[in-house]
Chains A and B, each alone.
Chain A
């Protein structure tokens, strides 16, 4: 973003500098030459008209620069107006004065053209500078006496008339290209940086996931593998069911869903469902998305009860901006201990007559 800004600032600086050069050439040098040689002109009104026209174009540019606007639809009429002003000045020029200081506009007309076309591609600027040059040349060849001296004067004059604006146009084009490339490489750099950050985060998450499973799932698997835990033992089966649900929840945690808490509860319920437990899941209200750690504590109670449930379980969520409560009521023959929770979530267990009711509450603040 800052890069784009720098680029815009660069363009604006160039625009202001070009405008100042143009004003200097048209309204200072041009005016001085016009006034000094006023006596030589046959139709002074046409000359002043041309000067006024060019000044008007430059004034428009000044306004556009201040308002930070491009030329837009005004661009081509402005170029045409400059060329018409040039033509009217050239056609009313006295004999044998082409490319002298009397021909004040010859040196000046290139600048307004450049001012109007500065943000266009270089070839456009070149095209119209050449057009102006040809206009002047045509005038010389058609309506004036052509001698070697006059031609030499015209050619030397052209070096500054054509060359100086052309130099600025080249600079503008080069600056534009450098700016574009700089912006491109910055974007590329940013993309690479983002990709690296994403990869790092993914790796961190995987390591963390593994660490989390390491504490509970790995000993269980190791026990099953070395035969110290018997799959026929109901306690082992329960632990396996809890771990399976925990893994499901872990995988569900990174899913992009609207309501992660319900999504994860659904995954926990699914594990019990496969075990043949009839699970009801119902939710009421709306609540803010709890952080992952809180969601784990909220779902842990449900997960434990579900793993122990014999035939049915009812999971409910009632939420608001002040309180999120996850309840699970299930027929658990054995009394289950509530899993330890963080400080943010309070878990209450209530049981009797083969029914266990666990409620986990979290107060968003």
Chain B
């Protein structure tokens, strides 16, 4: 699995962006193969685009009209999506995460975040870039999940420094703990974003997210 070459398909109407992303991915170690779909969302569903592990999705193919429906369709059909957008507003970022995007990056964020985001997405993991972290830290919408002060602190520091080593050093924790805090925030957001229609769905998701373990489940049943 690890040896396999990751492929990503990019949908973006700006040729320069696609070329830049392709370049970054080629330079990455190990390299990531990029399929350029241009501004044709259809190419993501057919041919080589359909086989790509990750979709790098420009939210605004039509200026002024963020394509949330397109994002939802991709996520619903099981695609792993990294949203790469020029939007910096918090609401758009959080909405994309709610819809199931594994990562949300603004176009200000370069290869140091895009490449790890693609790798994480190929693995089915989430990646939280600094800009999204800032959006979480500043989120004051009524339906937001309850974050602990420490989690907010980590989010804010990650947004401010965009270096996990700096965050870890400043807060006197390890980089791993920084990641754990950020991951926990994502779980909390995922839980408010997805509606659990049945009890079994809720249990499945809790297992998936690592909120409970199988052992704990068996203990409760006894």
CA A284 to CA B131, docked complex, whole Å: 8
A316-B134, A318-B156, A325-B156 known; A285 vs B140 contact (CB < 8 Å): yes
Q: Which of B17-61 contact A (CB under 8 A)?
A: none
A363 within 8 A of B: no
The reply on B170 being an interface residue by CB < 8 A is yes
Contact between A282 and B88, CB atoms less than 8 A apart = yes
Convert B162-203 into 0s and 1s, putting 1 for each residue whose CB lies closer than 8 angstroms to a CB of A.
110010011000000000000000000000000000000000
Q: A282-B88, A350-B170, A357-B166 given as contacts; is B140 within 8 A of A316 (CB)? A: no
Verify B162–A314 contact, CB threshold 8 A.
yes
Contacts of B140 in A (CB 8 A): 285-286, 320-321
Q: Which of A316, A320, A350, A357 contacts B159 (CB 8 A)?
A: A316
Shortest C-beta distance, B161 to chain A (Å), equals 5
Closest to A350 in B: B170
Q: Is B90 an interface residue (CB 8 A)?
A: yes
Which residue of chain B lies nearest to A319 when distances are taken between CB atoms in the complex? B138
Answer whether A284 and B160 are a contact pair too, CB < 8 Å, given A355-B166, A357-B166, A357-B170: no
Q: Which of B134, B135, B163 has its CB near the most chain A CB atoms (within 10 A)?
A: B134
Q: For residues 52 through 101 of chain A, which have their beta carbon under 8 Å from a beta carbon of chain B?
A: none
Which residue on chain A has the smallest CB distance to residue B88? A282
B160, A285: Cβ atoms under 8 Å? no
Q: Which of A303-353 contact B (CB under 8 A)?
A: 314, 316, 318-321, 325, 327, 329, 350, 352
A284 and B134 within 8 A (CB): yes
Whole-angstrom CA separation of A320 from B136 in the bound complex: 12
Q: How many residues of B contact A (CB 8 A)?
A: 19
Bound CA span A316–B169, Å: 19
Q: How far is the CB of A317 from chain B (nearest CB, A)?
A: 9
Q: Determine if B137 and A318 form an interchain contact, defined as CB atoms under 8 angstroms apart.
A: yes
Nearest B-chain residue to A326, judged by Cβ? B160
Q: How far is the CB of A361 from chain B (nearest CB, A)?
A: 10
A357 CA to B163 CA, complexed, in Å: 11
Q: A314-B161, A329-B160 are in contact. Are A350 and B135 (CB under 8 A)?
A: no
B138 touches A320 (CB 8 A): yes
Is A145 part of the binding interface, using a Cβ–Cβ cutoff of 8 Å?
no
Question: A318 contacts B161, CB within 8 Å?
Answer: no
Contacts A318-B137, A319-B138 hold; do A329 and B166 have CB atoms under 8 A apart? yes
CA–CA, A325 and B137, complex, Å: 11
B163 to chain A: which residues have CB within 8 Å? 329, 355
A282-B108, A284-B90, A327-B161 known; A318 vs B170 contact (CB < 8 Å): no
Closest CB in chain A relative to B114 CB, distance in Å: 16
Contacts of B159 in A (CB 8 A): 282, 284, 316, 318
- Contact check, A357 vs B160: say whether CB atoms are below 8 A apart: yes
Interface flags, B78-94, vs A, CB<8A=1, else 0: 00000000001010000
Which residues of chain B from 120 to 144 have any CB-CB distance to chain A below 8 Å in the complex? Answer: 131, 134-135, 137-138, 140
Q: How far is the CB of A347 from chain B (nearest CB, A)?
A: 14
Cβ of A280 under 8 Å from chain B? yes
Within 8 A of B (CB), among A160-219: none
Task: Tell me, in angstroms, the Cα distance from A319 to B159 when the chains sit together.
Answer: 12
Residue of A nearest to B137 (CB): A318
Q: How far is the CA of A357 from the CA of B162 in the complex (A)?
A: 11
Residues of B within 8 A of A321 (CB): 140
Q: With a CB–CB cut-off of 8 A, which chain A residues contact B162?
A: 314, 329
Interchain CA distance A319-B90 in the complex, whole Å: 12
Residue of B at shortest CB range from A325?
B156
**CB-based contact B90/A327 at 8 Å:** no
A359 at the interface (CB under 8 A from B): yes
Complex CA distance for A316 and B158, rounded to whole angstroms: 11
Tell me if A285 and B161 are in contact (CB < 8 A).
no
Contact residues in A for B166 (Cβ distance below 8 Å)? 329, 350, 355, 357
List 18 A-B pairs, Cβ < 8 Å. A282-B108, A282-B131, A284-B137, A284-B159, A285-B90, A318-B134, A318-B159, A318-B160, A321-B140, A325-B160, A327-B161, A329-B161, A329-B162, A329-B163, A352-B169, A357-B161, A357-B170, A359-B160
Known interface pairs A282-B88, A357-B166; 18 further A-B residue pairs with C-beta atoms within 8 A, sorted by A's residue number: A280-B108, A282-B159, A284-B90, A284-B138, A285-B90, A286-B140, A314-B160, A314-B161, A318-B134, A318-B156, A318-B160, A319-B138, A320-B138, A327-B160, A329-B161, A355-B163, A355-B166, A357-B170
- Which 4 residue pairs spanning A and B have beta carbons closest together? A285-B138, A327-B160, A284-B134, A284-B138
Chain A residues engaging chain B, CB cutoff 8 angstroms: 280, 282, 284-286, 314, 316, 318-321, 325, 327, 329, 350, 352, 355, 357, 359
